[in-house]
Every structure is written in C-alpha cells, then in structure tokens.
C-alpha cells in the first residue's frame, strides 16, 4: 500500500532561496574558520623555518655579538628571562593563591564579588601600564636610594602584576571545584580552618593551581612592553638583581628592528625559542587539565 | 584491663590558643592578600596619576586635543596618539569580528565532528599564546611586504578615496590594524563560542522543529540570544587592542600626525610610551605618564563595561 502522505513534502528543494542561503552561509563559515587558521600557520611556519636556520648551540652559551660580526648568541637573555619570570612568580604565586583562598573559603559575597571584579579589570590593564607602574614604584625608588635604576627587580615586579590576575582566577576556579564534602569531612574530624585548607583543600586543587601558574609563567615570559623601561637591556651576563638585565623578548624587539643581518637572524632564533617555550608550556598545561577532567 | 572510652569527655581535646590564633591569623592573612588585589588597581591609578600631575597642571585638558609632541620646547599633545589608538583598534575589530564570530559559529554548531572541533578550538587558542613581539617580527618581515604591494595597488586604482590617498610607506595604520585583527581574533572566537554553547539546546530544537533551516536558526534565534555575550567579547577584544604595544609599535610607523589615509604611518598611545619612555626626562616623563593615564582610563572604561555585560549575562 502506498502512503497517502506525499513523499517529498519533508525534503527541502535544494534550489529554494532558503536552502541556497543556508549553503552559502555554511561555506562562509568554513571560510571564516580557514581565515582564522591562516595567521597561526603563517606565523608558526615562518618562525620555525627562519628560527631553525639560525639556531646553533652557541645561541645558548654566548653573548650577543657586535653589530657587524657573525656568530654569538643570547645566553644572557635566556638567563635574564628565567630570572625575571622567577621573581614575578615568587611575588605573584603566593599572593594570588592566598587571595583566591580567601575568595572561595572565607569571604562573604560582597567582598568576593568586588575582588573578583577587580581581578578581571586588572587582567585587562595593558601590559605597558604595568610597566609604567613598575617604573614609578621600583626604578624611581631605586634611583632615589642610589641603589641603581633599571633592574631585574623592576622587570620582575612588572611581570608579577601581569601574572597575578591569571593566578587568582585559575586558583579561584580550581578551589571552587573541590568537593564541599572534603571540607565538611575535615572540619567534622575537628580540623581547624587553617588545617582544612592547607592539608585537604589545597592538595586537592594543586594540579589545577600548578597548571594556572604555568600558564601565567608562559604568558609572562613573552611579555616585552613592560620590560623595555623596567629591566631595559644589557649585552652582558646578569649581574645582580639591581642591574639592567637582558630578556629574550626585548632582545627580539631590539634586534629585529636593527639594520644588521646578524642581529636579525639572532632575533629569529630568539623568537623560535620564545614561541617554543610558550607553546610547549601551554600545550602541557592544557593536556594536564584535560587528563584530570 | 580495659580502657573506659566513655569517660573521655570532649573537653580533653580543647583547642589550644596557638591553634585558635593561627586559624584567625590565616583568615586575616588571606583577606589582606585578597584586598591587596583591589588595592593594586587603585595603586596603579594613583601612581600613574601623581606622576602625571606636573603635566596635568601644565597642559590641562588641552593635552587631549593638541597634536604636537615636542621634547625640545616641552610642548606636548596626545591627540594623534589617541586617534591612532582608536582607529587602529577599530580596523582590527572590523576585520576580526566577522571572522571571529563566524569561526565561533563554525566551532559551536555541528558542522564538524567533535574531535575536529576540539583540535580547531585548541589551534585558535594557540594564536593567543604567541607573544606579541613575535607577531611584530613576523609583521615586519612578512606582513608589511605583502600589504605594501596591496597598498600600492589600492593607491594606484582607488587613490581618489581619502582612505588610500597617500602612497604606502611600509609601516602604517593598515599593517597595525591587520596585526590587531589577528591578535584579537582568539578572544572574540573563544568568548562568542562560550556564549553560543551555553544556550539551552531547547532553543535550537524548537527553531529547527518549526522548520527553520540551520542558518535561519543561527541568525534569528541563537545570535540574538547570545548577543550580549558576543558584545562583551568584542568589548574585551577592543580593550586588548587598545593596550596592545609591541606588535603595533613595530608596524605602525610611529609618526605623530593625523592622516586619514590608512596607508600612512601613525602612532598609538602605547607605542608612544614604548618608544620614548626610557629616553625621556623631566616634563616629558610626566607628559608620557599623562598619556599612560589616558590609556589606562580608556581601557578601564572598556573593560568595566565588558565586565558589567558579562555579569548581566551570568545573572540571566
């Protein structure tokens, strides 16, 4: 028996204006997706290609060469970056974690909402403003005290300001995901708030906190603007926290806009190392969180 | 011999004073650090504001509408930089918003298998992880040559339009705008995608069930419903674009003139700071601080607006 229901009533004609519009828009969406990926591939392939061709072992162990001589490296900038990111981490990780503990564990709604709002606004503050701020706080103070001026300390301080909101936000989210049962169990056994947080809640959230801190460190190691006038640059090995200090990012900036081919090729090698550092840490961090979830 | 557990009263394990004060001290400590975050924001405003004070007293609000920047006779105005900041950000957004929202739609609806979608989401996020100075280097060596050729063609064939009335010089407003588009794209895509994904599935089902095509559903139901989320994504991207420093400094040409032409070099507040700060002294430092204060307030305004929109969305 054939159905009384017309066979074709549920399929749209492919030539009707509505379906045509649908098809055109789908094609456009795919074009948008492709356009979004073009710059990533273009930047990555170019940096890999140019960077690898000027990479050598010397790059890690030697100092920058004079403008017209060949060879040399930027060992001092790698060390300086690690140094300043380290200072930033020392300032910002404890501060950020403690602040986030207050937000999730102890605060009433109003203060928490205000501080979370401030954190989000702080994460939108341009990095160059953080640099100007660190200049005023650290560089000018050191100059006044005759202890120095442009320094690793100033650079580290600026990076700490930029890392802080990332750490607060990720720790805050990680602590909120810790099950309420754990806290109740600990408190029910007679633990104090301090013991509960330090021995039960923090260990449970530790992987996510480490991930967040890693991402903050990755972000900070690529920052340039705040370092231009807090740490400045130096062609020598780092020599104390109160002296001008080289960093990879500033080296890339200085050498890329210089007219000397040997410096430009070092800038590409430094870009490659910077990109690899940042990409590998973010990939590991993301992979670690996905494993846990 | 048996121990009588029942006679051990709870009072025998009273909390010591040390424990109690440790506990209270810890709570206070965390509270101080939490409030410190809000304090840092105020401290930044205060620090930049006081350093800018000499220039504020000297120039007043004229600073915002004057266009010379002359360290020799200490005469400063920041209008070209404000113009460049706003125009370069808007060019960036003009390119990034359609592509970013389109990509967000592609990555939130079922156009692709979910595995492929996850990889694409990750790749777009990687765009955000590349340091800005690397975009700058890439821009100098790759983007500028391409855009200079394009600019020559635009100038030769469409030179009567004011937007293209100067011959391309290499660095300029257009390369800066394009690099800002690339750098803000991941923010727009990620936040718009979040907004689209968090819509209830019943919205989609209802629209499709009424016989709408997929794109009619997207345009007439999903985008209006996620509109405030998309707007806040655009605002956050605008804030990011206005504060972006390194890539723009390397690509915009740093010329303190206001030109309508997109092919002419220009300047932004952040590149003004990046270029001059470490060599400035006296009133020039103060003038730069004043410029920094203007940038700080501009981005603060944009970010706070975005925050409010996000908060309103979350409450819905």
CA distance, residue B145 to nearest chain A CA (Å): 14
What pLDDT is recorded for position A4?
64
Cβ separation A128–B292 shorter than 8 A: yes
- Residue the block writes with tokens 């029910």: A188
What CATH number should be reported for the domain whose range is B57-315?
A: 1.10.3720.10
B141 touches chain A (CB under 8 A): yes
ipTM of the complex: 0.89
Closest CA to B151 of B127, B178, B170: B170
| 3-state secondary structure (DSSP) of residue A116 | helix
| pLDDT band (50, 70, 90) for residue B9 | low
- Angle at which helix A75-101 crosses helix A248-256, to 10 degrees, equals 130
Residue contact A99–B105, C-beta within 8 A? no
Residue B62 DSSP symbol: G
Q: What pLDDT band is residue B1 in, cutting at 50, 70 and 90?
A: very low
Average pLDDT over residues B166-174: 87
| Residue B26: closest C-alpha in chain A | A194
Mark yes or no for CB contact B295/A129 under 8 Å: yes
Integer Cα distance of A48 and A33 in angstroms = 23
Q: Please report the pLDDT score of residue A167 as a whole number.
A: 95
Asked if the model's pLDDT at residue B133 lies above 70, the reply is yes
pLDDT at residue A10, rounded to an integer: 65
Q: What is the mean pLDDT of each run of 10 residues along chain A (293 residues)?
A: 60 82 92 93 92 84 80 88 95 95 89 91 92 92 87 94 95 92 90 90 91 90 90 84 89 90 89 90 78 53
Residue-level pLDDT at A293: 46
For residue B75, what are the β-bridge partners? B70
Tell me how close the Cα of B102 comes to any Cα of chain A, in angstroms: 5
Mean pLDDT rounded to a whole number for chain B? 88
pLDDT category, B125, cuts 50, 70, 90? confident
Minimal Cα–Cα distance from B93 to chain A, Å?
Answer: 14
Q: What is the DSSP letter of B266?
A: B
Nearest to A85 by CA among A184, A197, A166, A170: A166
Task: With CA atoms as reference, report the closest residue to A208 among A290, A106, A138, A139.
Answer: A290
- Is the Cβ pair B214, A193 closer than 8 Å? no
pLDDT, mean of residues B236-257: 91
pLDDT at B108: 92
Q: What's the rounded Cα separation, in Å, for the pair A56 and A231?
A: 26
User: Cβ A31–B182 below 8 Å, yes or no?
Assistant: no
What pTM did the predictor assign?
A: 0.90
**Residue B76 belongs to what H/E stretch?**
strand B75-76
Q: A56 by DSSP, 3-state: which? A: coil
For residue B6, what pLDDT band results from cuts at 50, 70 and 90?
low
**Predicted local distance difference test score (pLDDT) of residue B260:** 86
Among A108, A124, A202, pick the best mutation site for testing chain B contact (most B Cβ within 10 A).
A124
Whether B131 sits inside 8 A of A192 (CB atoms) is no
Question: Percentage of residues in chain B with pLDDT exceeding 70?
Answer: 94
B295 in Cβ contact with A129 (< 8 Å): yes
């Amino acid at each position: 028996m054939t159905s009384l229901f017309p066979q074709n009533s549920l399929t749209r004609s492919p030539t009707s204006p509505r379906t045509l519009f649908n098809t055109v828009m789908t094609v456009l969406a795919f074009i948008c997706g492709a356009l979004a990926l073009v710059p990533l591939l273009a930047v990555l392939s170019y940096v890999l290609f140019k960077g690898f061709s000027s990479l050598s072992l010397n790059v890690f162990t030697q100092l920058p060469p004079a403008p017209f001589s060949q060879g040399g490296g930027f060992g001092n900038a790698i060390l300086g970056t690690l140094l300043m990111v380290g200072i930033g981490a020392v300032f910002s990780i404890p501060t950020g974690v403690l602040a986030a503990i207050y937000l999730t564990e102890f605060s009433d709604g109003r203060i928490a909402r205000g501080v979370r709002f401030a954190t989000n606004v702080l994460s939108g503050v341009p990095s160059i403003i953080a640099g100007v701020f660190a200049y005023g706080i650290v560089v000018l103070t050191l100059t006044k005290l005759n202890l120095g001026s442009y320094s690793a300390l100033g650079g580290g301080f600026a990076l700490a300001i930029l890392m802080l909101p990332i750490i607060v936000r990720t720790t805050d989210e990680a602590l909120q995901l810790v099950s309420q049962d754990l806290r109740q169990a600990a408190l029910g056994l007679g633990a104090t708030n301090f013991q509960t947080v330090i021995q039960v809640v923090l260990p449970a959230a530790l992987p996510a906190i480490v991930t967040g801190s890693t991402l903050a460190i990755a972000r900070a190691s690529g920052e340039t603007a705040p370092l231009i006038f807090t740490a400045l640059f130096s062609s020598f090995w780092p020599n104390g926290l109160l002296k001008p200090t080289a960093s990879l990012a500033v080296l890339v900036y200085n050498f890329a806009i210089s007219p000397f081919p040997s410096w430009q090729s070092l800038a590409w090698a430094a870009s490659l190392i910077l990109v690899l550092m940042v990409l590998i840490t973010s990939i590991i961090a993301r992979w670690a969180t996905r494993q846990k979830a | 011999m048996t121990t009588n557990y029942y006679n051990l009263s709870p009072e025998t394990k009273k909390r010591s004073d040390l424990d109690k004060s440790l506990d209270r001290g810890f709570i206070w400590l965390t509270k101080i650090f939490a409030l410190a975050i809000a304090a840092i924001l105020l401290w930044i405003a205060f620090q930049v504001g006081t350093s800018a004070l000499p220039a504020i007293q000297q120039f007043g609000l004229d600073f915002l509408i004057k266009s010379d920047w002359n360290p020799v006779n200490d005469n400063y105005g920041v209008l070209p930089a404000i113009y460049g900041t706003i125009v370069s950000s808007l060019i960036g957004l003009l390119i990034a918003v359609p592509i970013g929202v389109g990509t967000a739609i592609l990555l939130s609806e079922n156009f692709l298998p979910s595995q492929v979608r996850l990889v694409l989401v990750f790749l777009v996020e990687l765009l955000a992880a590349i340091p800005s100075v690397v975009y700058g280097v890439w821009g100098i060596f790759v983007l500028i040559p391409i855009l200079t050729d394009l600019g020559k063609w635009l100038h030769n064939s469409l030179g009567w339009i004011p937007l293209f009335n100067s011959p391309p010089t290499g660095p300029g407003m257009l390369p800066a705008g394009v690099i800002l588009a690339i750098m803000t794209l991941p923010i727009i895509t990620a936040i718009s995608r979040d907004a689209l994904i968090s819509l209830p599935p019943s919205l989609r089902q209802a629209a499709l069930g009424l016989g709408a095509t997929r794109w009619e559903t997207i345009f007439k139901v999903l985008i209006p419903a996620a509109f405030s989320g998309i707007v806040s994504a655009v605002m956050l991207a605008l804030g990011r674009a206005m504060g972006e420093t390194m890539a723009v400094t390397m690509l915009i040409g740093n010329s303190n003139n206001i030109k309508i032409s997109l092919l002419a070099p220009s300047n932004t507040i952040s590149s003004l700071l990046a270029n001059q700060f470490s060599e400035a002294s006296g009133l020039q430092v103060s003038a730069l601080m004043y410029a920094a204060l203007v940038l700080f307030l501009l981005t603060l305004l944009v970010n706070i607006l975005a925050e409010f929109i996000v908060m309103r969305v979350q409450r819905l």
